[in-house]
Amino acid sequence: MYERLLDKNVIPDAATIREHLGEESHERLAAMESQLHEGYQLSRELKFPFGNSYGWGYKYSHKSSHLCYAFFEKDTFTVMLQIGDKQVPILERQLSLLLQKTQDLWENRYPCGERGGWVHYRIFTHDELTDVIKLLAIRKKPSTK
């Protein structure tokens, strides 16, 4: 279905990642990176974190602050990000303006802390990507560099 790159011993190169994601998803991932570069001193690392079920993906950071992971899947990718307890009030004020999918994912998040949690957002559309960018801005306010 949404097969991931799960062989830790085979490090994917850029061509493999692009082929696995497919053109549309690769373009969305590039668009996400471009938008993140506008607000953050972005670094990207190819990682195989959290054991065998997540597989290969990019870890995105701003300076030393982790922003999110983007896990490569067949014809899509999933962004995994955390909203901490301190950011929950900001998110709650904006949640009704976000897509229903985003609201549902937040409602069904993997809990972390008192009110925060982890969201796994599989991205299929530009609007979903826009919501992920908004969630990341809640997680870590963009800087002016």
Nearest to 32 by CA among 13, 4, 60, 54: 60
What is the pLDDT at residue 29?
Answer: 98
Q: Is residue 5 part of a domain?
A: no
CATH code of 36's domain: 3.90.1150
- What pTM, to 2 d.p., does this model score? 0.94
- With a pLDDT cut of 70, the percent of the chain lying above it is 98
Q: Is residue 101 part of a domain?
A: yes
Q: Is residue 23 part of a domain?
A: yes
Number of domains the chain contains: 1
Q: CA 117, 82, 72 angle in degrees (round to 5)? A: 120
pLDDT tens, residue by residue, 39-53: 999 999 999 998 888
Mean pLDDT of 62-72: 95
Q: Is residue 3 part of a domain?
A: no
Q: Is residue 39 part of a domain?
A: yes
Residue 37 has pLDDT above 80, yes or no: yes
What is the pLDDT at residue 78?
Answer: 97
CA distance 136 to 61: 11
Q: Is residue 91 part of a domain?
A: yes
Number of C-beta neighbours around residue 69 at 10 A: 21
pLDDT tens, residue by residue, 92-130: 999 999 999 999 999 999 999 999 999 999 999 999 999
Domain that holds residue 119: 14-139
Instruction: Specify whether the CB–CB gap between 58 and 45 falls below 8 A.
Output: yes
